[in-house]
Structure 1
Amino acid sequence: MHFIIGGAFNGKRAWVKNYYKVFEHNHWISAYETQTIPKELNTFDQDLLVIEGVEIWLKNLSASMGADKCRGLWANCLDNWLTWEKAALQRQLVVIGTDITKGIVPIEAENRLWRDITGWAYQDTAAKSEKVDVIWYGLNQTIK
């Protein structure tokens, strides 16, 4: 799994498209296009899959359940995704998340919870990823 993280509108999507030479839309599952979080990937028959908008799914989850449940559900998704990826040598999973954990801490409790859950989920994702890249202004820095 390759985890891509960076600020909003910092070129994460463009960098991934260029790096992986992805041009077809069917390689993407996007929360930005109101697609639901894929808990399993068994029906996906491509070798490359890009999942983006993690922070949106986590916001929706944090609105309906507590932090421990959110983190457990996220860990379950990661495990299922890694199982899919490891089922065939040529498979590659790319997860893109926008970093919302920097800056001023939100006043509203629900937004603080979302920010906390996102930070924990990103830590879990980075820990389970083979490679992690931070994208700022269209430039990558490999940190793992």
Structure 2
Amino acid sequence: MQLVIGGAFSGKRKIVKDTIGTCSWVSAYQEDRIADWETRWLHGTTLVIEGWEKWIADELTTSESNDDIRSLYKALFQTLFEEEQRRKNKIVLIMLEMGKGIVPLQKKDRRLRDIAGWIAQDAAQLSDQVDYVWNGLARRLK
């Protein structure tokens, strides 16, 4: 798995499109559900999943437990990792780096930032490659 992370409008999507061949996209920005990856991932393509902060924000409205949300996504990453190995096709996770250390004023915004950060750490740990994108430039971190 590959994680591409960076700020909003930093060029993450362009970097992925320019470096990856044929892709199957699942995007919260297009109103896709995270579970859509199973039906959208076409044979012989790289699966690209983006919009994690939107899916996480949806979970915040239904779950009081940060640990439960994090566990849900850790299990999903493990499933994706195993499916990537089984299909022998690559998965790219595009994630938004939220805050750059700035603490939001609203409690719900702080919670979203915290959980998204933990989930990004979990994704980075499981990924073979991690790239940070800023101003359209990618830097390999792992």
2:113 aligns to what? 115
| 1:32–1:40 CA distance, 2 compared to 1 (3 A) | closer
| Residue 31 of structure 2 is aligned to residue 30 of structure 1 | no
| 1:107–1:29 CA distance, 2 compared to 1 (3 A) | same
1:51-70 equivalent positions in 2, closer than 5 A: 51-65=49-63, 66-70=65-69
Q: 1:41 touches 1:80 (CA, 8 Å); kept in 2?
A: no
1:7 aligns to what? 7
| Residue 72 of structure 2 is aligned to residue 76 of structure 1 | no
Identity of aligned residues (%): 36
TM-score (norm. length: structure 2): 0.91
Q: In 2, distance between residues paired with 1:93 and 1:83?
A: 11
2:38 match: secondary structure: coil
| 1:44–1:87 CA distance, 2 compared to 1 (3 A) | same
Quote the offset at 1:102 in angstroms. Answer: 1.6
1:135 aligns to what? 133
Q: Provide Cα deviations, 1:59-89, integer angstroms capped at 9, x if missing partner.
A: 1112221201100110111011111101033
Quote the offset at 1:40 in angstroms. Answer: 6.2
| 1:130–1:54 CA distance, 2 compared to 1 (3 A) | same
Q: 1:37 touches 1:57 (CA, 8 Å); kept in 2?
A: yes
Q: 1:55 touches 1:98 (CA, 8 Å); kept in 2?
A: yes
Equivalent residue letter for 1:142: R
Q: In 2, distance between residues paired with 1:111 and 1:143?
A: 27
Any gaps of 5 or more consecutive residues in structure 2?
none
Q: In 2, distance between residues paired with 1:44 and 1:114?
A: 28
Q: Provide Cα deviations, 1:11-49, integer angstroms capped at 9, x if missing partner.
A: 100110000134x6xx10001111111276377333310
Q: In 2, distance between residues paired with 1:62 and 1:132?
A: 26
1:86 aligns to what? 85
Q: Which has the higher helix share?
A: 2
More displaced, 64-73 or 102-111?
102-111
1:35 match: secondary structure: coil
